[in-house]
């Protein structure tokens, strides 16, 4: 009898796991009640201390001998990023194109610094939210996660 109870318990437990991970959790993530893995990675990136976060506008100042690009080139990249994000749709390939031109984390930080000076917005928040408040504005969590992986793989200076 105890063996039959254990089998039922395992069967019910397995069924509950399938329902939670297959139906309930994706629904909660879609509604914004639970955080997806990609969203958690974005939050973790934002919470890094300035000396470890390449999206921080002061990260590049903490790295001696940082290899930066010219201010004019950085202004141009910042404008391309700003123009690539719309109120209703975004030009994601343009965003990835901008970041593919950066070779070091310090250059990402320099871009974040110039972007903040020019547009009075945090670069990572802007990429996440775009120019509008609609859900489709800004990069998706998956696209942001992909971008973070690219930047985090860059050498420091």
Domain boundaries, the chain: 1-34, 36-152
Supply 135's token pair: 């859900």
- Per-residue pLDDT tens for 42-87? 666 666 667 789 999 999 999 999 999 999 999 999 999 999 998 8
pLDDT at 1 over 60: no
Q: Helix, strand or coil for residue 73?
A: helix
pLDDT score at 102: 97
- Output the CA torsion sign for 88, 78, 106, 117: negative
Structure pTM? 0.73
- Output the CA torsion sign for 65, 69, 72, 76: negative
pLDDT at 30 over 60: no
pLDDT score at 129: 87
């Amino acid at each position: 009898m105890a063996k039959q109870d254990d089998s039922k318990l395992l069967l019910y437990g397995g069924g509950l796991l399938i329902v939670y991970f297959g139906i309930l959790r994706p629904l909660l993530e879609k509604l914004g009640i639970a955080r997806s893995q990609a969203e958690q990675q974005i939050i973790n990136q934002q919470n890094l201390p300035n000396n470890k976060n390449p999206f921080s506008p002061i990260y590049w100042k903490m790295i001696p001998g940082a290899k930066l690009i010219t201010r004019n080139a950085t202004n141009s990249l910042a404008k391309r990023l700003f123009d690539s994000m719309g109120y209703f749709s975004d030009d994601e390939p343009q965003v990835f194109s901008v970041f593919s031109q950066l070779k070091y984390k310090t250059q990402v930080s320099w871009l974040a610094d110039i972007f903040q000076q020019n547009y009075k917005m945090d670069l990572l928040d802007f990429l996440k939210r775009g120019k509008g408040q609609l859900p489709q504005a800004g990069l998706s969590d998956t696209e942001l996660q992909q971008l973070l992986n690219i930047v985090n793989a860059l050498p420091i200076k």
